Structure 1
Amino acid sequence: MTHVFDDDALRGVLGHMNTDHLDDNLLIARAFSPIPDVIRAEMVTFDGDAGQWHVMCADGAEDVIRVPWPGGPISERREVRREIVALYDAACARLGVEPRPQS
């Protein structure tokens, strides 16, 4: 059964991603969206299996993409960061972008 994170974890992670990591959201969306020309992305939720992003494209199309965590299912808040970083690294590899060092 998929782990469901509590509201505090959702608010914290989503607030951080949509305030401090807008470029990372866009990079992940561009790498994993089946819709081309993504120009904006916002992380909208996550659970133990995947993260979800609302994507907007240059032609006005919108969609929600669900991207599975690279390391498999998770159940703890501290694991979310690890998986988002792994998604970022995978997105960089797919798009041929040099990843920034992680702290």
Structure 2
Amino acid sequence: MPHTFDDAAVAGVLGHMNGDHADDNVLIARAFAPGVDIVGATMTAFDGDGGEWTVVTADGGAQLVRVDWPNGPISERREVRREVVALYDEACRRSGIAPRPHG
């Protein structure tokens, strides 16, 4: 059973990802759901095993994209950032674009 994060951690991470990294959400979803024509993505959940994005497709449909954390299961809030950054870096690699520096 994957680790479940408390409501404050979930709200904080989702608020940050959807407020400050909307473009990264789309990049990650597209990279990990090849063949799906994604025009929008919102991070909607995460647990100790991975993150979930609800995507909007070009035809107006919606579907869930779940991506496992690259470094395996986690259980600490501070690890979420590390794993999202790793997903972003891998999404950039898969998409053939240079990732921006992480600060």
Report if aligned partners of 1:92, 1:99 keep a CA contact under 8 Å in 2.
yes
CA drift at 1:35: 4.8
Aligned to 2:7: 7
User: What is aligned with 1:29?
Assistant: 29
On the 8 A contact 1:35/1:57 being kept in 2, the answer is no
2:55 aligned with 1:55: yes
List aligned pairs for 1:1-103, cutoff 5 A.
1-103=1-103
Q: Equivalents in 2 of 1:26, 1:68: separation in Å? A: 16
> What's the secondary structure of 2:63's corresponding residue?
strand
After TM superposition, which residue ranges in structure 1, 4 or more long, deviate above 4 angstroms?
Answer: none
Using the TM superposition, give the Cα deviation of residue 97 of structure 1 relative to its aligned residue in structure 2, in angstroms: 1.1
Q: Percent identity?
A: 64
Equivalent pairs counted in the alignment come to 103
Q: Letter of the 1:37 partner, please give it.
A: D
- Aligned-pair CA distance for 1:5: 0.3
User: Mind listing any 5+ residue stretches in structure 1 that lack a counterpart?
Assistant: none
Q: CA separation in 1, counterparts of 2:2 and 2:37? A: 31
In structure 2, C-alpha distance between the alignment counterparts of 1:80 and 1:51, rounded to whole Å: 9
Scaled by the length of structure 2, the TM-score of the pair is: 0.96
Gaps of at least 5 residues in structure 2 are: none
Q: How high is the TM-score relative to the length of structure 1? A: 0.96
What CA distance in whole angstroms lies between the structure 2 residues aligned with 1:32 and 1:62? 15
Residue aligned with 1:4, SS: coil
Letter of the 1:46 partner, please give it. F
